[in-house]
A and B are shown apart, each in its own frame.
Chain A
Amino acid sequence: AQTVTQSQPEMSVQEAETVTLSCTYDTSESDYYLFWYKQPPSRQMILVIRQEAYKQQNATENRFSVNFQKAAKSFSLKISDSQLGDAAMYFCALADTNAGKSTFGDGTTLTVKP
């Protein structure tokens, strides 16, 4: 069985500052993918960033980057220059290629203060 743990139910950040959301996971598979999804209030869930486990280089998407520590099974999301539109619930997810489905963490609610 695979698990995804987000230990921070809520986080807040000042506009233009940087915030890091934590995620740890457990899987016995060697081939898997990790994701961060964003769910704004009353809006559609969208993909923020994706990381293939076989890649050592950390994924980046504009202001969003990850710190992928495979040995520690850690996958944190860093948001730089936070904007009001970043306020949302963020879900960490693990996709196991053998199981063919994803496991989601409990989510972290991010508040951005003006």
Chain B
Amino acid sequence: EADIYQTPRYLVIGTGKKITLECSQTMGHDKMYWYQQDPGMELHLIHYSYGVNSTEKGDLSSESTVSRIRTEHFPLTLESARPSHTSQYLCASSETIRWETQYFGPGTRLLVL
């Protein structure tokens, strides 16, 4: 199994709250990604990073923000959660050279009431 971790695994929170979804990997991968996935549906890339201090927006517009201060850590933040943010969020990472193969975390299932 890949050494990539996400916490919390499940989160139920009220509208308007600020939340941070954590993602960490111990593989020394430079590239990291955040995907949004509704249950049983396709993945949408919302953020990615080439390395420390690099953050890029993905294909799907998102109100979330990310930061990459350390190689192993790529947290995603929602300043004010809304019911429309209810989804599963998957974090992934890949090597610099063989970046094409991604390793996924277990995901965080977010429910905003």
Chains A and B are bound partners: yes
Which of B1, B31, B43, B100 has a CB less than 8 Å from the CB of A44? B1
Shortest C-beta distance, A51 to chain B (Å), equals 10
A16 — which chain B residues lie within 8 A by C-beta?
Answer: none
Which of A43, A97, A101, A107 has a CB less than 8 Å from the CB of B41? A107
Chain A contact residues (Cβ within 8 angstroms of B): what range?
20 to 34
- Asked if B53 is at the interface (CB within 8 A of a chain A CB), the reply is no
Chain B contact residues (Cβ within 8 angstroms of A): what range?
20 to 34
The answer to whether A106 touches B41 (Cβ under 8 A) is: yes
B101 — which chain A residues lie within 8 A by C-beta?
Answer: 33, 35, 47, 50
Given contacts A44-B1, A44-B105, A101-B58, contact A50 B100 (CB under 8 A): yes
Known pairs A44-B107, A107-B41 / 15 extra A-B pairs, C-beta < 8 Å: A37-B102, A43-B106, A44-B104, A44-B106, A45-B92, A47-B103, A50-B100, A89-B40, A91-B42, A100-B99, A101-B33, A102-B45, A106-B41, A107-B40, A109-B40
